[in-house]
């Protein structure tokens, strides 16, 4: 059967049409994929809300307490002497109010004083430009040493990284509620073996304007490395941890530690003062006691976390790095190795959020005799990066020193105003600076954006420090999307 030429033409034309249609189909997909079409994307409108100025408030934990001095009154914790409280604000003439908080657990509150909330009127100072701090030295049969603490902001969640409840160690969790609303507080203790079941510590009511004290040993006895996680609903809480050490029969130090920086993958512990050369290698498995520099780490997540701990001596940088792996849910103390005397910056990089603080002791030597026991210890907490300006209250104490760390890539020039005298300190990129303070109770820092700071005190047998924390996020601007 022959195909007529007309039919052939027709079939040919149709085939061409098919090829053309297929080519258009392929071509249009190619054009859609290859041509860089312009994109239209509407801008999501938002408003950055600067919260209206509110009452700035700091809470000082109050005088050091002694638990169980009077066996008949185990629920009370009477104070031991009184603390020196100093305040600082910028502008310096801002009207400050000191509101004592009720301390129902302290029968000696009348004599020794109570926790104090420092408040500035709304608008009196900018966020973060109010500070308070306290210091106290004690020397009794069971307590001896020097403790200093910053008056912190009351928050809904705090991590206290310090203390121990093993033999000779005791701790008190101080919960202060400066607000007008009762706070319902959950205190969770995590130790080297994992979280400690302590139902009695959940749902603690802290009435408005008062302080409650818990015994850490009562919640979680025999922990070498406890971490206390405090959360509150309703009112907010300023939490701190008082801990004391008795070695043998002699008191071997006391410390009052504030909250460390919230969990993050990167933590900076500025200004760890190591007064005497010494230490334990990080690889050492079984070390007892607390008379060596160490860093306590905890990862709140559910997975093992690899941590790199940089121990940077002095101002210049350098130093060694310690690698460690954190088991989920368990606290780990990592010895920092043998360190020369000096000031160190501990920089922690982890692949999941961690909390951290570092410990050092003064006095004493190796060995566990009474005479060689350390005379004081200090916990240096991780701090959050500062804003552009900060004010620091410096309580009386032995050789107060401001430790500045600049983790950033550019040198920072910090203006330090102390008693009206201004000086400029350069903090090199990735480096640190130690700035002895001249005894003024108020130091104003400017140009500190991104820097970390600690105030340390070091005497021959006294050691203490507190971190300079930026104001909490509650005051910071927030972006609001109204759609």
- What residues line the site for other proteins (CB under 8 A)? 14, 17-18, 20-22, 24-25, 28-29, 32-33, 37-47, 49, 51-55, 122-123, 155-157, 179-181, 233-236, 353, 472-483
Alpha carbon separation from 123 to 54, 56, 119, 330, 413 (Å, rounded): 7, 9, 11, 43, 28
In angstroms, give the least distance from the CB of 42 to other proteins: 5
71 CA to centre of own chain = 34
Q: Is the Cβ of residue 46 or residue 365 nearer to other proteins in the bound state?
A: 46
In angstroms, give the least distance from the CB of 107 to other proteins: 30
Q: Is the Cβ of residue 68 or residue 353 nearer to other proteins in the bound state?
A: 353
In angstroms, give the least distance from the CB of 470 to other proteins: 14
In angstroms, give the least distance from the CB of 148 to other proteins: 26
Q: Is the Cβ of residue 16 or residue 277 nearer to other proteins in the bound state?
A: 16
Q: Please answer whether residues 272 and 256 qualify as being in contact, where contact means their C-beta atoms are separated by less than 8 angstroms.
A: no
Question: Residue 82 has which token pair?
Answer: 């009184």
107 CA to centre of own chain = 31
Q: Is the Cβ of residue 179 or residue 267 nearer to other proteins in the bound state?
A: 179
In angstroms, give the least distance from the CB of 49 to other proteins: 3
Q: Is the Cβ of residue 91 or residue 123 nearer to other proteins in the bound state?
A: 123
Q: Please answer whether residues 451 and 403 qualify as being in contact, where contact means their C-beta atoms are separated by less than 8 angstroms.
A: no
87 CA to centre of own chain = 21
Distance CA 292, CA 277 (A): 9
Task: Give exposure, 228-258, as e/b (b: 16+ Cβ within 10 Å).
Answer: bbbbbebbbbbbbbbbbbbbeebbbbbbbbb
Distance CA 162, CA 240 (A): 10
CA-nearest of 114, 86, 50 to 391 is 86
Q: Is the Cβ of residue 29 or residue 277 nearer to other proteins in the bound state?
A: 29
Q: Is the Cβ of residue 183 or residue 336 nearer to other proteins in the bound state?
A: 183
Q: Is the Cβ of residue 251 or residue 470 nearer to other proteins in the bound state?
A: 470
Strands (DSSP E) found in 90-209: 96-100, 116-120, 130-139, 144-150, 157-161, 169-177, 183-191, 194-196, 204-206
In angstroms, give the least distance from the CB of 62 to other proteins: 22
Distance CA 312, CA 64 (A): 32
In angstroms, give the least distance from the CB of 52 to other proteins: 4
Q: Is the Cβ of residue 22 or residue 277 nearer to other proteins in the bound state?
A: 22
Q: Is the Cβ of residue 177 or residue 240 nearer to other proteins in the bound state?
A: 177
In angstroms, give the least distance from the CB of 23 to other proteins: 10
CA-nearest of 173, 213, 209 to 76 is 213
In angstroms, give the least distance from the CB of 266 to other proteins: 12
Question: Residue 138 has which token pair?
Answer: 């004690």
In angstroms, give the least distance from the CB of 25 to other proteins: 7
In angstroms, give the least distance from the CB of 456 to other proteins: 29
CA-nearest of 415, 412, 395 to 456 is 395
Q: Is the Cβ of residue 27 or residue 110 nearer to other proteins in the bound state?
A: 27
Strands (DSSP E) found in 363-477: 376-381, 389-393, 401-405, 412-418, 421-427, 432-436, 442-446, 452-458, 463-468
- DSSP states of 208-231: TTEEEEEEHHHHS-S-SS-EEEEE
Cα dihedral 212, 400, 394, 230 sign: negative
């Amino acid at each position: 059967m022959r195909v007529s030429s007309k039919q052939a033409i027709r079939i040919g034309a149709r085939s061409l049409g098919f090829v053309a249609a297929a080519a258009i189909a392929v071509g249009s997909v190619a054009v859609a994929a290859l041509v860089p079409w312009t994109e239209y994307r509407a801008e999501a409108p938002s408003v950055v809300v600067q919260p209206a100025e509110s009452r700035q408030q700091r809470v000082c934990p109050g005088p050091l307490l002694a638990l169980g001095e009077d066996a008949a009154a185990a629920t009370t914790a009477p104070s031991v002497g009184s603390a020196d409280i100093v305040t600082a604000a910028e502008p310096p003439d801002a009207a400050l109010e000191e509101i004592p908080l009720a301390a129902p657990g302290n029968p000696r509150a009348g004599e020794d004083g109570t926790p104090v909330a420092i408040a500035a009127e709304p608008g009196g100072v900018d966020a973060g430009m109010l500070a308070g701090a306290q210091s106290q030295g004690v020397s009794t049969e069971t307590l001896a040493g020097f403790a200093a603490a910053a008056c912190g902001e009351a928050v809904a969640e705090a991590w206290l990284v310090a203390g121990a409840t093993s033999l000779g160690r005791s701790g008190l969790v101080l919960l202060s509620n400066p607000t007008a609303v009762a706070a319902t507080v959950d205190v969770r203790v995590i130790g080297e073996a994992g979280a400690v079941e302590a139902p009695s510590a959940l749902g603690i009511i802290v009435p408005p304007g008062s302080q409650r004290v818990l015994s850490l040993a009562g919640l979680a006895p025999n922990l070498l490395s406890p971490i206390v996680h405090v959360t509150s609903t309703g009112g907010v809480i300023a939490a701190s941890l008082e801990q004391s050490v008795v070695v043998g029969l002699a008191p071997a130090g006391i410390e009052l530690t504030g909250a460390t920086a919230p969990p993050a993958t990167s933590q900076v512990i500025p200004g760890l003062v190591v007064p005497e050369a010494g230490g334990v290698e990080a690889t050492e498995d079984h070390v007892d006691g607390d008379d060596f520099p160490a860093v306590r780490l905890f990862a709140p997540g559910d997975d093992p976390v690899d941590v790199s701990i940089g121990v940077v001596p002095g101002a210049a940088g350098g130093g060694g790095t310690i690698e460690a792996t954190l088991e989920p849910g368990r606290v780990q103390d990592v010895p920092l190795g043998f360190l020369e005397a000096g000031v160190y910056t501990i920089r922690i990089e982890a692949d999941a959020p961690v909390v951290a603080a570092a410990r050092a002791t003064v006095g004493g030597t190796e060995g566990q005799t009474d005479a060689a026991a350390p005379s004081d210890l200090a916990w240096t907490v991780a701090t959050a990066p500062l804003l552009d300006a900060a004010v620091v209250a410096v309580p009386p104490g032995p050789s107060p020193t401001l430790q500045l760390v600049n983790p950033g890539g550019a040198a920072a020039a910090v203006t330090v105003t102390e008693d009206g005298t201004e000086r400029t300190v350069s903090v090199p990129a990735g480096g640190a600076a130690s700035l002895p303070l001249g005894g003024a109770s108020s130091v104003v820092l400017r140009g500190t954006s991104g820097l970390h700071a600690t105030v340390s005190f070091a005497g021959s047998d006294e050691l203490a420090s507190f971190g300079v924390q930026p104001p909490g996020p509650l005051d910071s601007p927030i972006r609001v999307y109204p759609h």
